[in-house]
Amino acid sequence: MQYASTRGHAAAQNFSEILLGGLAPDGGLYLPTSYPQVSGAELDAWRGLSYAGLAFEVLKKFATDIPAEDLRAIVEKTYTADVYRNARLGEDAAQITPLRVLEDKDGRKLILQALSNGPTLAFKDMAMQLLGNLFEYALAKKQAELNIFGATSGDTGSAAEYAMRGKKGIRVFMLSPHKKMSAFQTAQMFSLQDPNIFNIAVEGVFDDCQDMVKAVSNDLAYKERQKIGTVNSINWARVVAQVVYYFRGYLSATTSNAQKVSFTVPSGNFGNICAGHIARMMGLPIDKLVVATNENDVLDEFFRTGVYRVRKSAETWHTTSPSMDISKASNFERFIYDLLDGDAARVKALFGKVETVGGFDLSGQPGSDGDEFKKVARFGFQSGKSVHADRLNTIRQVEKNYGITIDTHTADGIKVALEHIETGVPMIVLETALPAKFNETIREALGRDAERPAGFENIEALPQRFEVMTADVEKMKAYIAANTGL
Ligand SMILES: *Cc1c(COP(=O)(O)O)cnc(C)c1O
List, for residues 68-108, the tens digit of each pLDDT value.
Answer: 999 999 999 999 999 999 999 899 999 999 999 999 999 99
Report whether residue 238 contacts ligand 1, using a CB cutoff of 6 Å: no
Please report whether residue 180 resides in a domain. no
Residue 10 scores a pLDDT above 80: no
Of the candidates 77, 109, 124, 260, the residue annotated as catalytic is 124
pLDDT digits (tens, 9 = 90+) for 106-160: 999 999 999 999 999 999 999 999 999 999 999 999 999 999 999 987 788 999 9
The whole-number pLDDT of residue 466 equals 97
Q: How many CA atoms lie within 13 A of 123 on its CB side?
A: 32
Q: For residue 439, give the H/E element and its range.
A: helix 439-446
CA of 271 to the centre of ligand 1 (A): 8
Alpha-carbon span 339 to 336, nearest angstrom: 5
CA of 293 to the centre of ligand 1 (A): 10
CA of 351 to the centre of ligand 1 (A): 22
Query: Which of 235, 270, 324 to mutate for ligand 1's pocket (most ligand atoms within 8 Å of CB)?
Result: 324
Instruction: Take atom 8 of ligand 1 and give the residue whose Cα is closest.
Output: 269
The whole-number pLDDT of residue 9 equals 80
pTM of the predicted model as reported, rounded to 2 decimal places? 0.96
List the CATH number of the domain containing 389.
3.40.50.1100
Give the whole-number percent of the chain exceeding pLDDT 70: 100
Report whether residue 116 contacts ligand 1, using a CB cutoff of 6 Å: no
Report whether residue 409 contacts ligand 1, using a CB cutoff of 6 Å: yes
CA of 365 to the centre of ligand 1 (A): 32
Cα 51 → chain centroid = 18
Residue 338 pLDDT level (bands cut at 50, 70, 90): very high
Query: Which of 123, 245, 321, 429 to mutate for ligand 1's pocket (most ligand atoms within 8 Å of CB)?
Result: 123
Please report whether residue 312 resides in a domain. yes
CA of 127 to the centre of ligand 1 (A): 12
Mark whether 180 is an active-site residue.
Answer: no
Beta bridge partners of 151: 175
Cα 154 → chain centroid = 13
Instruction: Take atom 7 of ligand 1 and give the residue whose Cα is closest.
Output: 271
The whole-number pLDDT of residue 425 equals 98
CA of 269 to the centre of ligand 1 (A): 7
Give percent helix, percent strand, percent coil of the chain, each to the nearest 5.
45, 15, 35
Question: In sequence order, what are the residues at sequence separation of 6 or more whose Cβ sits closer than 8 angstroms to the Cβ of residue 252?
Answer: 95, 99
The β-bridge relationship of strands 261-266 and 197-203 is unpaired
Closest approach atom of ligand 1 to CA 270 = 9
Count the domains in the chain.
1
Question: In sequence order, what are the residues at sequence separation of 6 or more whose Cβ sits closer than 8 angstroms to the Cβ of residue 433?
Answer: 116, 121, 122, 123, 155, 323, 407, 408, 409, 410
The whole-number pLDDT of residue 316 equals 86
Alpha-carbon span 443 to 433, nearest angstrom: 16
Instruction: Take atom 14 of ligand 1 and give the residue whose Cα is closest.
Output: 323
CB 270 within 8 A of CB 331: yes
Please report whether residue 183 resides in a domain. no
Please report whether residue 453 resides in a domain. no
Residue 319 scores a pLDDT above 80: yes
- What is the C-alpha radius of gyration for the chain, rounded to an integer number of angstroms? 21
Q: Measuring CA to CA, which residue among 138, 125, 201 is closest to residue 165?
A: 125
Question: In sequence order, what are the residues at sequence separation of 6 or more whose Cβ sits closer than 8 angstroms to the Cβ of residue 448?
Answer: 442
Please report whether residue 285 resides in a domain. yes
Please report whether residue 298 resides in a domain. yes
pLDDT digits (tens, 9 = 90+) for 20-64: 877 888 889 999 999 999 999 999 999 999 999 999 999 999 999
The whole-number pLDDT of residue 301 equals 98
The whole-number pLDDT of residue 23 equals 81
Report whether residue 298 contacts ligand 1, using a CB cutoff of 6 Å: no
CB 427 within 8 A of CB 421: yes
Write down the number of H helices and E strands in the chain: 18, 15
The whole-number pLDDT of residue 352 equals 95
Strands in 227-282 per DSSP E:
228-229, 261-266
Domain interval for residue 306 = 96-120+237-446
Residue 438 pLDDT level (bands cut at 50, 70, 90): very high
Average pLDDT taken over every residue of the chain: 94
Please report whether residue 146 resides in a domain. no
The whole-number pLDDT of residue 218 equals 84
Please report whether residue 251 resides in a domain. yes
